[in-house]
Structure 1
Amino acid sequence: MVETIMQQGLTELSAERVFRPLGLTRTSYVWQPAFDANYAIGYDEQGQPLPKRRRTKAGAAGSLETTPADYATFLAAVMQGKGLSSAAKAEMIRAQVRIPYQAQFGPLATVAAPDSNRTIQLSYGLGWGTFESPYGPAYFKEGHDDGWENHSVVFGNRNKALLLLSNSSNADKLFRELLEKLLGDQTTPWQWENYVPYNHPTD
Structure 2
Amino acid sequence: MKKISCAVILLLAFTHAFSQEKKIKSFADEYGIQGLQLVYVKGNKTQAYNIGTVNKGSDKKVSSNTIFEAASLSKCVFAYTVMRLYDSGIISLDTPLLHYTGSYERFDPKDARYAKITARMVLRHTTGLPNWGDDKGARLLFTPDSCFSYSGEGYVFLQKAVEKLTRKSLNDLAQEEVFTPFKMTSSSYVWESKFDTVSAFGNSPGAINRHKNANAAYSLLTTAHDYTLFLQALLAGQGLKPATRQLMFEKSSSGTRFDHPIIEANQHIDWGLGVGLQQNELGKSIWHWGDNGDFKGFFIAFPDRQEILVYFTHNPYGLNITADILNTFFGKQTWWQAQWLDYGFKSPKEIKALRAKLAKRGYSRAVEIVEKEKKNNPAYKLPEDDLNSLGYMLMSDNKKKEAAEVFKLNVNLYPNSANTYDSLAEAYEALDERELAIKNYKHSLELNPKNNNAAEHIKKLELLPL
Which bin holds the TM-score, normalised by the shorter protein? 0.7 to 0.9
Three-state SS of the structure 1 residue aligned to 2:317 is: coil
What amino acid is the match of 1:190? Answer: A
Look up the match of 2:207: 52
| CA distance, structure 2, for counterparts of residue 76 and residue 38 of structure 1 | 24
Alpha-carbon distance in structure 2 between the residues aligned to 1:9 and 1:62: 15
Structure 1 equivalent of residue 266 of structure 2: 117
State the shift of 1:29 in Å.
0.5
Name the CA distance, whole Å, in 2 between partners of 1:114 and 1:173. Answer: 19
Render the CA deviation track for 1:39-71: whole Å, top value 9, x for unaligned.
Answer: 1129xxxxxxxx735422110000111112111
Q: Does 1:2 align with 2:162?
A: yes
Aligned equivalent of 1:148, options 286, 295, 298: 295
- Structure in which a larger fraction of residues adopt strand: 1
Instruction: State the 1:175 CA deviation.
Output: 1.0
Computing the radius of gyration from Cα coordinates, the structure with the larger value is: 2
**Could you say which residue in structure 2 is the equivalent of 1:88?**
244
Q: Distance in 2 between matches of 1:115 and 1:186?
A: 12
How far apart, in 2, do the equivalents of 1:157 and 1:134 lie?
13
SS in 1 for 2:304: helix
Shift of 1:15: 0.5
Letter in 1 for 2:186: R
Work out the CA distance in 2 between the residues paired with 1:4 and 1:123.
30
Superimposed CA distance per residue, residues 77-107 of structure 1 (whole angstroms, 9 cap, x where no aligned partner): 1122222222111111211111213xxxxxx
Q: Which residue matches 2:364?
A: none
Partner of 1:36: 196
CA separation in 2, counterparts of 1:80 and 1:27?
Answer: 20
1:65 aligns with 2:213: no
The equivalent of 1:188 in structure 2 is 336
- Which structure shows the bigger proportion of residues in helix conformation? 2
Q: Aligned letter for 1:186?
A: T
Aligned to 1:166: 313
CA RMSD in angstroms, aligned pairs only: 2.0
Q: CA deviation at 1:139?
A: 0.7
State the AA in 1 paired with 2:294: G
> Is the aligned partner of 1:178 residue 2:333?
no
Deviations 1:137-191 (A, max 9, x none): 2110111112111000111122112111111111211111111221134233212
Is the 2:265–2:340 contact (alpha carbons within 8 Å) kept by the matching residues of 1? no
Q: State the match for 2:274 in structure 1.
A: 127
Q: What is the identity, as a one-letter code, of the residue corresponding to 1:57?
A: N
Q: Which runs of 4+ in 1 moved over 4 A?
A: none
Distance between the aligned counterparts of 1:189 and 1:26, measured in 2? 28
SS in 1 for 2:277: strand
Aligned partners of 2:265 and 2:339 also within 8 Å: no
CA distance in 2, matches of 1:26, 1:81: 22
What's 1:46 paired with?
Answer: none
Deviates more, 1:84-93 or 1:60-69: 84-93
TM-score by structure 2 length? 0.38
- The alignment's TM-score, normalised by the length of structure 1, stands at 0.83
> Corresponding residue for 2:172?
12
Inter-CA distance 146–115: structure 2 relative to 1 (3 Å threshold):
closer
TM superposition shift of 1:28: 0.5
Are the counterparts in 2 of residues 136 and 156 from structure 1 also a CA contact under 8 Å?
A: no
Segments of structure 2 that go 5 or more residues without pairing to the other structure are 1-160, 358-466
1:100 aligns to what?
256
1:202 is aligned to 2:350 = no
* Structure 1: distance between partners of 2:323 and 2:343: 6
SS of 1:142's equivalent in the other structure is strand
Shift of 1:124: 1.6
- Mapped to 2, the partners of 1:113 and 1:29 lie a distance apart of 35
- Structure 1, gaps ≥5 residues long: 43-50, 102-108
CA distance in 2, matches of 1:189, 1:18: 26
Paired residues, number: 186
Q: How far apart, in 2, do the equivalents of 1:144 and 1:114 lie?
A: 22
Aligned-partner Cα distance in 1 for 2:238–2:289: 21
C-alpha distance in 2, partners of 1:189/1:72? 19
Give the structure 1 partner of residue 183 of structure 2: 23
